[in-house]
Amino acid sequence: MRIRTLTLAAASGAALLAAGVLPASASGATPRSAQEGTVSAADLLAKVTSCSQISNGKYRTDDETSATVPVCGKNGAVFWKADMDIDCDGQRTTNCNEDRDPWYQDDTAFHQSDGKALKAESLPYVVVPSSSSIWNYSGAGIKGGGVVAVIYNNKVEYAVVGDTGPTKIIGEASYATAKALGIDPDPATGGADSGVTYILFKNSTVSPIESHSAAVSLGDQLAKQFLANN
């Protein structure tokens, strides 16, 4: 979880350049293209064109922005449209650690089947706002390990609910989620300013939470149900 400001992000980017350290996206590595499962991004997006707001208020996408993002309800799911900040919390890895991420924390709200924190660098997961007077995710049938369809630039990536964030900010996902969608995954300077849709399927659980293949299998099944029921 992180609370990002433009000033700090800019300063971090300047520090990286000054140190001669390039962000991960500048290393020449090409992220894999995401189109997981059999349901297209267009078909999913066609079902979330209008919002029936279920949150008591709206969320900011960053500290310095105004609150404009509601949580919306559909049959079998909730969704929001926001930006994507990069969460690099959990187990220390090559690209997710104190040196690469100014906001790094060594734990996640939800844990692997062995009790260890999740690995943001390799596991696609989404961050939900911590419960507050604005919205209580658990009361809406959203739980740790639940399946999320993340849509960006006509691509679909299935992820799990893996961490919780600030009570007033929304729009954050793991390093692995961003990379799969072609978004710069650098925790200090990356992310997407807008255009990301998050569809969270109610009362779903991936077991074990760290199995991405299980998330894709269940996600595809739930996405088909979502299309049929909305």
> How big is the chain by its Cα radius of gyration, in Å?
16
Predicted confidence at residue 35, as pLDDT, reads 74
Residue 203 lies in a domain: yes
Q: Which domain holds residue 190?
A: 6-229
Distance CA 112, CA 186 (A): 23
pLDDT surpasses 90 at 16: no
Residue 219 lies in a domain: yes
- Report DSSP letters for 66-127, one per residue: ---B--EEETTEEEEEEEEEEE--BS--SSSSTTT-TT--S--SSB-TTSPBPBTTTS-EEE
pLDDT in tens, 139-194: 999 999 999 999 999 999 999 999 999 999 999 999 999 999 999 999 999 999 99
pLDDT surpasses 80 at 5: no
pLDDT surpasses 90 at 19: no
Minimal CA–CA distance to 73: which of 94, 95, 55? 55
Predicted confidence at residue 23, as pLDDT, reads 38
Locate the DSSP E strands across the chain. 72-74, 77-87, 125-129, 147-152, 155-165, 172-174, 192-201
Distance CA 115, CA 33 (A): 31
Higher pLDDT, 62 or 28: 62
pLDDT in tens, 35-90: 799 999 999 999 999 999 999 999 999 999 999 999 999 999 999 999 999 999 99
- CATH code, domain carrying 48: 2.40.40.10
Residue 101 lies in a domain: yes
Name which of 9-13, 24-28, 67-71 the model is least confident about: 24-28
Mean of per-residue pLDDT scores for the chain: 89
SS3 (DSSP) at 14:
helix
26's tokens:
């500048």
Q: Report how many domains make up the chain.
A: 1
Predicted confidence at residue 127, as pLDDT, reads 98
Exposure string over 192-229, b if 16+ CB within 10 A, otherwise e: beeebbbbbbbebbbeebbbbebbbbbbbbbbeebeee
Confidence of residue 34 (pLDDT cuts 50, 70, 90): low
CA distances for 118 relative to 1, 56, 155, 230, angstroms: 12, 30, 24, 32
Residue 35 lies in a domain: yes
Percentage of the residues of the chain whose pLDDT score is greater than 70: 85
Residue 223 lies in a domain: yes
CB-CB contact of 139 with 55 (8 Å): no
Residue 212 lies in a domain: yes
Residue 52 lies in a domain: yes
Quote the pTM value.
Answer: 0.87
Residue 1 lies in a domain: no
Across residues 99-108, what is the average pLDDT? Answer: 96
Query: Given CA atoms 211, 205, 115, 123 in this order, what sign does their dihedral have?
Result: positive
